[in-house]
Amino acid sequence: MIHFNFGLHDMVFFAADGKTRAEPSTEGARHQVSVEDYEANLRKLVERLKQTKAKLIWCTTTPCRKDQQVACRRSRAVQSDCRKGDGRTRD
């Protein structure tokens, strides 16, 4: 059995300098990792875990702080889409 999570850190917003955390509404703010790359990375991780033949248990993301709501919604949508039809258990 593998109990895993693919957290929100990649979905955090940074200022244009790429070093300072920022609010999503800040001019020039961007995700640390693009939504497309986040999804590709998650799918790659799941495929690798499936190769172990272990039972996979998806651990949903911890509750989000108020300043993380945009990142939470986007990551949860990707996570939900990646889980469709694959038979993983959700925790």
| Cα separation, 64 vs 72, whole angstroms | 7
Q: How far apart are the first and last CA of the chain?
A: 13
Q: What would the pLDDT profile of 4-23 be if each residue is shown by its tens digit? A: 887 777 778 889 888 898 88
* Burial state string for 29-54 with b = 16 or more CB within 10 A and e = fewer than 16: bebbeeeeebbeebeeebeeeeeeee
Q: What would the pLDDT profile of 43-86 be if each residue is shown by its tens digit? A: 898 889 889 999 888 887 667 777 677 667 777 777 777 666 55
Number of H helices, E strands in the chain: 2, 5
Judged by DSSP in three states, 60 sits in coil
| Residue whose tokens read 């272990």 | 54
Residue 28 has pLDDT above 70, yes or no: yes
Q: Give, as one character, the DSSP assignment of residue 2.
A: E
Element (H or E) spanning 53, and its range? Answer: none
